[in-house]
Structure 1
């Protein structure tokens, strides 16, 4: 089949100007280990052998990897017009694989799962994770926000031996120090409470002391 395809391309090249022309085809197989594809050339449905799939950014074990789906329309080019040196380059939307309506000047990376990275025309950057989102940082992580930052979740856990807040902290709900298991709390200034404070089961607002003359003293004032 591969020889048949090469013969057909070579014959067309001889009829033209002795060089293989750029052709369109459909991806019929994909090898992720080699980042290579087989393509059914249109017309005729003749399948190529394994040919490299182009990428805008490549290196030894790194680069941009946009794995193809079977059935995608792809452009096949031939180095120096040689039928033995084919390569798959650009892929195209078509009547089956329809594009999204992206505004002029914007850039979107959208996965079939719905996850996306969108660069909007007004400068906003939108990140959408259809499932979990994981970030691994080998060094330090620094985030600077000129406006307000809001984190909304069913629960938040900060797993660190030390946490530091340089400004005021407002807590809208209950505060359980030590996770209910005990621990020490140190305050460098005054502590003000509109309600009662209890220590060891004893009320600060309503506790009494034994009176040297018998009985107990009144509550604190």
Structure 2
């Protein structure tokens, strides 16, 4: 009987400590098709049921990146119910540090900067401008008010050798 009483006390203590409190956890399972995850919560290492993953959405615009197993997350209780959690955000720490961007010379983002990294594709917006690394496909027009440099050759100020009158072709562009 003492054994059962101890187990019940432990469960009640665990449940009481979870009521209405935000906490940190580690993602233990992911279902990206439904936007749900399971999270292991310290200190008892208990696992939640399937709960909502974090997303940012305003009107018709949505930004969502499914969590991965082992991501550290901040969870909050919905309506003060210690059994009804939702992931609020992913958090970085010594175990899961922020990602480094090769387009920023293998540095992490600094305050005031914005970045997206998916595999080897990177987009970083800083006070120095917009840096992009990866394959880029554009379906539509591109307008440029300044110069474009391709492999060190200015699109506006390049020269061609072998210019001849008539319908003949010029040689490839060269730097000035």
Indicate whether the TM-score tops 0.5: yes
CA displacement at 1:168 relative to structure 2: 11
Note the residue ranges of structure 1 that are not aligned, 5 or more in a row: 14-18, 154-166, 175-190, 199-221
CA displacement at 1:26 relative to structure 2: 0.2
Q: Which residue of structure 2 aligns with residue 31 of structure 1?
A: 31
CA displacement at 1:116 relative to structure 2: 0.9
Corresponding position: 1:136 with 2:139: yes
Q: Within 2, Cα distance between the matches of 1:108 and 1:53? A: 20
Q: Provide closer, same or farther for how the CA distance between residues 48 and 173 of structure 1 changes in structure 2, counting only shifts above 3 A.
A: farther
2:79 aligns to what SS in structure 1? helix
Tell me which stretches of 4 or more aligned residues in structure 1 moved more than 6 Å: none
Q: Within 2, Cα distance between the matches of 1:115 and 1:149? A: 21
Note the residue ranges of structure 2 that are not aligned, 5 or more in a row: 1-7, 101-107, 169-176
Larger of the two Rg values belongs to structure: 1
Describe the superposition over 1:172-203 as per-residue Cα deviations: whole angstroms up to 9, x where unpaired.
469xxxxxxxxxxxxxxxx737xxx99xxxxx
Q: Which residue of structure 2 aligns with residue 120 of structure 1?
A: 126
Q: Which residue of structure 1 aligns with residue 5 of structure 2?
A: none
Q: What TM-score does the superposition give when structure 1 sets the normalisation length?
A: 0.56
Q: What TM-score does the superposition give when structure 2 sets the normalisation length?
A: 0.68
1:118 aligns to what SS in structure 2? strand
Give the conservation status (yes or no) of the 8 Å contact 1:23–1:76.
Answer: yes
- RMSD value, Cα: 3.3
Q: Provide closer, same or farther for how the CA distance between residues 86 and 104 of structure 1 changes in structure 2, counting only shifts above 3 A.
A: closer
Alignment: residue pair count = 148
Of structures 1 and 2, the one with the larger relative CO (CA 8 A, separation 6+) is 2
